[in-house]
Chain A
């Protein structure tokens, strides 16, 4: 837990880093996100270009 002085302890830093890395991993690896971008590109090509 963070100390009373407001500083973040090492474990909290590690947890935050892991959470942030999880978000990055999700954005890069999730097939749902991949499909979403593919569909967006397809729709843009169909209707805008």
Chain B
């Protein structure tokens, strides 16, 4: 067993210990709801894992030494868990904290409500079997998330590449994947975020309960959230949206509890946990620079709704914001520090402009900040999205960025409209105030998707997930009024989504069984040669971006240079022997149409063709070996001749 694998096991063990401590910390802070504690308990261990990689990452950033290695991560994580253990032991058990939110007694037997959950379980099982029997997939995952992880693994740092948008983004969600990469467990990459789905289910349940909803209606809301195809597909991918959404929702739930806890010390602990969770989300995706503002607003609401208002109210608001902000920066500040050290702009790659004056330069005019379609097209596309689920381009309509599912279409729109109508009355209780807050947050997804977030539904995933929590109030009403009919609606709609969603992984799995494609090279259609090249072999990838990760090899030992990086390295100069040698390129990979190199380019074709299935749609791949200069070739042949 190698050292990296042992380190991974040690981190997993420490995570479980920290999770237990996290649950204890949450309960001692005054949360007496078991599901809430289980959901919020994940914040402390996850923040610890993030910090354990950020700490050596900071040392590497400042000293240029490769210290982001598994042993260093384990050492920092062990120290973190010890500190958390000491602090949690100092927190006395809560005695006089508020009881769990009042739940209305249900009129229907809970047993029948197991059917929707079983349907959901069956759907996730199909996705799990498919994901466990394949290598990582997904455009963004292969293009940059996993390539970034590979680059960090090779360099022992958490550096960025100025000028390359995809290599400059914060990646808190990839910390667990980095450890898996060190251990050489590529097959498990896409399973790393599966627990996020489970935690999101717990969080939606807990948020619905926080709005005073019954257990059954909260379960239906959680099942509706978990049935969202976008969530299911993301749970078995290396996309980061679900991971970030989990911690955004954790922060919101923690803030709801902040507004209920009497004891100032316990309130501060819960506020700190909320801040840590917000920071994890902020450090996972640039779009959370925007969404985290909603949480800062929720801090103000939590302070407004505190059980015993104190004098110096303004100072209290500032203090709460400061605690939340500091905790938030603890788990996200590394990325701003890294950007500042590397480029001078803490928000890199975003350019910072005020009134047209550029304060910090970034990667300007990127297609990531403003929509490119007309308003008419945007409204035509989105006005009835839950029922129509249109998609740009062809292909399957459910995926990591598309689809809300039947249960969402059935319950959430009417629930949100009902909640909006309820806003006409001024909220008189803290629960009503939180319901109004959640409703406004959920509705804010519409203008965000239509404007700054460039029509990407997954960029507002936390707000999309908040929809079922808000709709739980209406679901509760339906469950109380007509339990059988509501059960039928829930079961049918979840069944429809489960069948349609599970079709894709089932089809892919059956296809792999039919074709016998179980190898890495077979799945990615790359030359087998690249799998076992010596560490540090440099491959220039002139094919599609998602080929970058596959070309890194099964041990992620190859250095893959994508065409954008190549353009930066050569200032856009045409391919030549000089620039190939100047950048120490060993191989060039490209795909159909067959390349037309300059006549004098010293390259030799070493792979030409399709690997297993001639009828597959994948284009033909070509791998060229870059020949050394003639005098170097002579040296090599002399060396071979002299060899006994």
Contact = CB atoms under 8 A, between A and B. Distances in A.
A22 B387 contact: yes
Nearest to A32: B397
B103 to A, nearest CB: 15
Contact of B480 (A2, A25, A27): A2
Interface stretch (B4-12, B65-73, B388-396, B561-569): B388-396
A22 B398 contact: no
A42 to B, nearest CB: 11
B411 A19 contact: yes
B508 to A, nearest CB: 12
A30 B396 CA distance: 12
A32 B385 CA distance: 11
Main secondary structure of the interface of A (DSSP, over half): helix
Contacts of A33: 496, 500
A16 B409 contact: no
Contacts, number: 89
Contact of B388 (A15, A29, A39, A40): A29
Question: Which has the most chain B C-beta neighbours within 10 Å: A8, A15, A18, A32?
Answer: A32
Nearest to B403: A32
A12 B481 CA distance: 7
A26 to B, nearest CB: 4
A31 B414 contact: no
A1 interface: yes
Interface string A1-24: 110000011001001101110110
A15 B478 contact: yes
Given A15-B474, A32-B398, A26 B481 contact: no
B478 A12 contact: yes
Given A30-B406, A32-B229, A36-B503, A23 B480 contact: no
Contact of B481 (A8, A25, A32, A35): A8
Contacts of B507: 39, 43
B35 interface: no
A31 B406 contact: no
B387 A30 contact: yes
B329 interface: no
Contacts of A30: 387-389, 397, 406, 409
A10 B499 CA distance: 33
Given A25-B409, A32-B389, A33-B500, A19 B414 contact: yes
What 3 A-B pairs come out closest when comparing CB atoms?
A32-B397, A12-B481, A2-B481
Given A19-B414, A32-B397, 13 more contacts: A15-B414, A15-B477, A16-B481, A19-B411, A22-B413, A22-B414, A23-B406, A25-B409, A26-B410, A26-B493, A30-B409, A31-B388, A35-B396
18 contacts: A1-B481, A2-B481, A8-B482, A12-B478, A12-B481, A15-B477, A16-B486, A19-B414, A19-B489, A22-B414, A23-B406, A26-B410, A29-B388, A30-B406, A31-B390, A32-B403, A36-B499, A36-B503
Interface of A: 1-2, 8-9, 12, 15-16, 18-20, 22-23, 25-27, 29-33, 35-36, 39-40, 43
